[in-house]
Structure 1
Amino acid sequence: MPGPEAMRRMDRWLGVPVCALLSGMRRAARTWRRTRAQEQAVRRVLFVQLAESGSMVLADPAMRELTARSGAQAYCLTFAHNRDSLAIAGTVAPERVFVMRTGSLRVLVTDAWRFLRDVRRERIDALIDLELFSRLTAALCVLTGVRRRAGFHRFGGVGLYRGDLYTHPLAFNPQLHMAQNYLMLVEALFAEDVPPAPRVPAAMLVPSVCRRELGADELAVVRERMGRLRGGPIGDERLVLVNANASAMLPQRRWPQAHFVALVRATLARYADVRVLLIGAEDDRATTAAIADEVGDERCADIAGHFALGELPALFALGAALVSNDSGPAHFAAVTALPVIALFGPETPVLFRPLGNATVISAGLACSPCVNAGNQRRTRCTDNQCMRRIAVAEVFGALCRVLDARPLRLAPRDALAEVGA
């Protein structure tokens, strides 16, 4: 599977000439004929969002706005490993999702070719490229043959060159949350002026994700498996979920393992009715197992790899709080009422704050954020002080405020003394 840096290099060295070539061809075609994309009815719209699992949730308000506004069916193109992330919000029906696998370059190219064939069969009327200046996705959008296309364009501002490939190009606004930027792309798609400069409607200033309605069966499955993992049924204890992992695309987002250990110990010492569950995927177990071993308390359980992505909403519905690095689970929780404490460093919550019931904590260093739309979210930082300097006491204080909002049973020890300043 090509790594994140290999994908970025391919996007740069292959994407730039491809975008330039396609842009030239598009300009030449315009001199010979006028496009009538504006007059085309919008019945089927394709959203392109490949790499970021958390962004699937951030895009949900835009997808719902499109459906409410036009009645169009929403389709989506994503990488195969993100398909379950898209299903968390449940806005796009599974049969309307196109996927591309990333096992090898040959597989990726084969799936891209298959997608170009299949998307024409679906007779898509318009598309919205949600990617932040990915050149190859811009080229892919043109090759679909869809005549009405909205996507981010740098103009003279933020972003990378990717040619002139959209009929409705929109300037990316780094002062707006990503969910709002996505909503502006929907506005741009229906704009009469090109390039569009839509206003930000007041209702879009605070986007929200539609809450999932969880059935009794979904909750029962999670409860039953939880009971097997802990050796008995869940009683009146409160479940504090901890996500200590972050994707390989940006490992600098990780809060130090020792900080998580100190936080878990302090939480268990202060609250007698709390059990801490370390969550994650199967390949996260090296981290979660190490934290559980170091904590050394039977009330701290490593459950990484025991729940599928689609079961997370039910797990979150049973939780009392989630403490998470800036990664997918912090965003997935937005489909429930679960309070989230999200830790930010290399990225900014101005753009990527979770849309749910979230408290954001960052160290506020001058060098943060160091990744943005202009550098393809890459950084040379090897010492993530922006995460290391987030104090355990600050995170613990935020967690205590969540847990103290309901009756509890305090343990006799003063956990605040253990945490320190």
Structure 2
Amino acid sequence: MYDVIIRNGTIVTASGERKADVAVRKGVVEEVASSISGALEKEIDASGLHIFPGAVDIHVHFSDPGRSEWEGFRTGSRMLAAGGITTFADMPLNGIPSTVDAAALRQKANVGEEKSVVDFALWGGLVPGNLNELKGLADAGAMAFKAFMSPTGNDDFEAVGDVDLLEGMKRIAELGKVLALHAESGPVTSFLTEQKRREGLVGADDYLATRPISAEVEAVERALYYASLTGCPLHFVHISSAEAVAVIQSARASGMNVTLETCPHYLLLTHDTLKEKGAVAKCAPPLRNKTDQLKLRAEMNADRIDFLTSDHSPCTPELKQMENGNVLDAWGGISGGGLTLLAAIRYAKEENVPLAQVAKWTAEKPAERFGLGHKKGQIAPGMDADFALVSIGQSHTVTPSNFWAKHPVSVYMNETFPASVKATYVRGREVFAADTGPSDEKAGRMICL
């Protein structure tokens, strides 16, 4: 007996689109076929809708526990559910304590289990002084590890130096895990930032100048060299330049185990957005000039970027305030985690890219890279029944009332996308409906890897 049958929708997978019914039993996809018969408890008519695999966002910052006033598992997961995201991985910094040992990971896991309405995994951190904690983090269920190569602005989660980075890579490789890196050269960005401060230059153009593409490329090249010495699988987060993509792809062609992501804001927004909207558009690496954005888009279209993540990095509204146009001192991070699927659809429409690519970028590839692909990222028998029912062509305009994050402060406010999410399901349970909003019922669970 099927619990749910979704009928008459157009299923979108990484291999293409097709009309089909989907049958669910006990939270798992049982059958996908052109027509399904059989007893059932519930039937959903998806006529006119596209059924995407629930998006998998492996890069969000929910700051919970400790800074839930910035964002928390409850508000953050409801925001994701409203955007068709059914699984996320929370980064190890910004919470208190940072997730740099097994006890902190277990504490965060408990909070997530109590509050999240969608499924989740957790990152462990590589920071100065915690090399001996890495195995405990892995044993406690850390999906992968994250480190910074430039200052973080967080005293509890500092950037790692070269020696610790090398030793950390060696140990992470031995644990069979992946290390993700924020790859910007710390010496370069710190030197350029201090130079601007001394000169009293703190505006949008000055901020961009402190984080040039060359700083991203240098850090990527150095990390790849260290990985060649240690055998550590690498993943580069929020890559913002075609030049960095080329370096990573060259390493992959040589046989290295390396992947990369970019974010919707690097594909849809430019440095002009920072100049126009102020600190809500500040992030690191920064939004690039239009010429550089077009080069990055070309890499995306050539299938040289593995997948998309939101890098949802919110804060309290006052931290986004600027005094006298001072961009340098404003919090850096873009809030928009619930919009990755819609942004990917918008990008696909603008570039005339098949929707199958959207399913690959937002679901299949991130799940596959981080060991979630046995249950997440696809619509197929045996997979978790995670779906986003999307109306292509029915636009969605972001407003404070439908943003759902802790704070309605986002560069995407009032932006319009050419599709809208009508419903979201996690393991067959509805966690969002367009007419009622996100569920208040905790349906999510931590994914044990």
TM-score range, shorter chain: under 0.3
Give the structure with the higher percent strand. 2
Give the structure with the higher percent helix. 1
TM-score, normalization by structure 1: 0.27
Q: Which has the larger radius of gyration?
A: 1
